[in-house]
């Protein structure tokens, strides 16, 4: 009878639920201190993560714990979830990456990629953006720290300002002069007002 009870406990504990108490992520494999549904506190239980993905779950999130081969000395955390912060309201087929603070990146239907957050920093050698129809940037101000080259036309619906002049074709707006007629005499303009010799 005792052997049967032990067997039942082994089977029951092969997969069990728990709560994460503390997470250690600076080691080679992330480990979690967990409290099982039976009240046992287990230290440094390794958490298996899918290759190419890494996350640090918050304390008090739910975890699933497995005992490999029914051996209590070979426990692993299979997954972790926080139902309070999990991104909700998705549609069939959606996938998402989300953070405890609420910002997220979601792949949704009709080829739409949705990113919500406060700041996006991309540091690479080169970015190539291909939009076959249109690029729309809605912002009060766009700032470029270096040169900008435009392959075709530029339409400006507001005013254009420059600090050090400009050039359109062969015409330099700072040094340009041209002939004009005044009272029958042909004269030549000097440089624009405010521009020194």
- Whole-prediction pTM value? 0.69
Choose the weakest-confidence range: 3-7, 12-16, 23-27, 158-162. Answer: 3-7
Element (H, E) at 6: helix 2-13
pLDDT digit string, tens, across residues 47-92: 999 999 999 999 999 999 998 877 778 899 999 999 999 999 999 9
Going from N- to C-terminal start, the domains of the chain cover: 2-81
- Is 189 within 8 Å of 195 (Cβ atoms)? no
In the beta sheet, which residues pair with residue 168? 171
CATH of domain 2-81: 2.40.50.230
Q: What angle do CA 166, 172, 178 make, to 5 degrees?
A: 145
Residues with Cβ within 8 Å of 133's Cβ and at least 6 positions away in sequence, in order, are: none
The 3-state DSSP class for residue 74 equals coil
79 Cβ contact partners less than 8 Å away, ≥ 6 residues apart: 63, 64
Q: Tens digits of per-residue pLDDT, 166-186?
A: 777 777 767 766 666 667 766
pLDDT one-digit tens code per residue, 81-129: 999 999 999 999 999 999 999 999 999 999 999 999 999 999 999 999 9
């Amino acid at each position: 009878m005792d052997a049967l009870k032990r067997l039942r406990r082994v089977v029951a504990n092969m997969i069990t639920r728990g709560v994460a108490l503390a997470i250690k992520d600076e080691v080679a494999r992330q480990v979690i201190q967990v409290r099982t549904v039976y009240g046992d506190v287990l230290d440094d239980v390794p958490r298996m993560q899918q290759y190419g993905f890494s996350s640090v779950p918050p304390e008090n999130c739910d975890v699933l714990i497995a005992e490999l081969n029914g051996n209590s000395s070979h426990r692993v955390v299979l997954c972790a979830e926080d139902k309070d912060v999990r991104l909700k309201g998705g549609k069939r087929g959606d996938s998402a990456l989300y953070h405890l603070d609420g910002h997220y990146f979601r792949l949704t239907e009709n080829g739409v990629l949705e990113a919500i957050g406060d700041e996006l920093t991309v540091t690479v050698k080169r970015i190539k953006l291909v939009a076959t129809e249109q690029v729309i940037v809605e912002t009060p101000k766009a700032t470029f720290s270096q040169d900008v080259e435009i392959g075709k036309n530029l339409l400006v619906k507001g005013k254009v300002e420059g600090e050090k002049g400009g050039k359109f074709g062969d015409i330099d707006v700072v040094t340009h002069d041209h002939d004009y007629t005044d009272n029958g005499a042909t004269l030549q303009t000097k440089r624009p007002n405010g521009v020194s010799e």
